Amino acid sequence: MTNDPFSHHPELAELITRPEDSFFRDFSINKLENILIDRGLPTGWWHTDEHRNSIREEALTEHRSEDLWIFAYGSLMWDPAIRFTEVRRALVDGYQRRFILKDIHGARGTREAPGLMAALDAGGECEGLAFRIDMEAIERETDILWRREFIGPAYFPVFVPAQIGEDTVNALTFVADFDAELIEPELSRTEQLDYLANGSGFLGYSADYLRNIARQFRLLGIEDDEVEGLVRELNQLEK
């Protein structure tokens, strides 16, 4: 195997944030709390470190004896924060990307002006990227990954078959937790576009989140009608 993690997709080398440059590489509850206090936003809604680590330990119990694949379908595709040895285009059957995560905690929206992000839900299929983590780095890198994805309730971790070229691997991904306040599966198109157009926070604009997904897909030749439709309608709304 080549030492270049981008050997299969050199076009992504300049479009995926280097781990050392990622906002999330040293993300923590303390860092988040300071940001929210500075912005006058509510605090205390997150998981404790102990609870978050218990979720991670349970998810990885039988998955530490070989390299670990992570399936990314949202912002992990351009800012995973983890050190990976390989990135590949991947397809997961039986799950679909849906824009049903209503951000109200300050990342890309607030309660007064919610933002919108994607979550994985059952049904259909989903294309994205898969990142390989070296077995010796699983503990360190998944700790960073969990602090990125599991600060508060929104997802739960599952392992899914991901097709990468001619091969199928067992990949970790993050699926919508319908008991979480942030997950709203019945959002109308009008609500989705409103949140995309107006949501913003310390991670940036919801509109940029959507367009970053579309950018990665165009480079990879991935056709996603939902993403392209939302981009098109958002562009029309902003004219």
Report residue 116's pLDDT band, with 50, 70 and 90 as the boundaries.
very high
3-state DSSP percent of the chain in helix, strand and coil, to 5: 35, 30, 35
Report residue 16's pLDDT band, with 50, 70 and 90 as the boundaries.
very high
Is residue 100 predicted with pLDDT exceeding 70?
A: yes
Is residue 2 predicted with pLDDT exceeding 70?
A: no
Q: What burial class does residue 143 get, using C-beta atoms within 10 Å of its C-beta: 0-12 exposed, 13-18 middle, 19+ buried?
A: middle
Mean pLDDT over 62-80 rounds to 96
Residues 6+ apart with CB under 8 A from 21: none
| pLDDT at site 238 | 86
Residues 6+ apart with CB under 8 A from 39: 106, 202
Is residue 34 predicted with pLDDT exceeding 60?
A: yes
Q: Which two tokens stand for residue 40?
A: 């006058």
Domains (range + CATH), the chain: 10-238 (3.10.490.10)
Query: Roughly what angle, to the nearest 10 degrees, separates helices 206-220 and 189-198?
Result: 100
Return the bridge partners of 89, or none. 129
Contact predicate 119/176, CB 8 Å: yes
Mean pLDDT over 75-85 rounds to 97
Is residue 161 predicted with pLDDT exceeding 70?
A: yes
Quick check: helix, strand or coil at residue 33? helix
DSSP assigned state of 48: P
Type of residue at 192: Q
Q: Which two tokens stand for residue 11?
A: 């076009």
Beta strands 86-105 and 110-133, pairing class: antiparallel
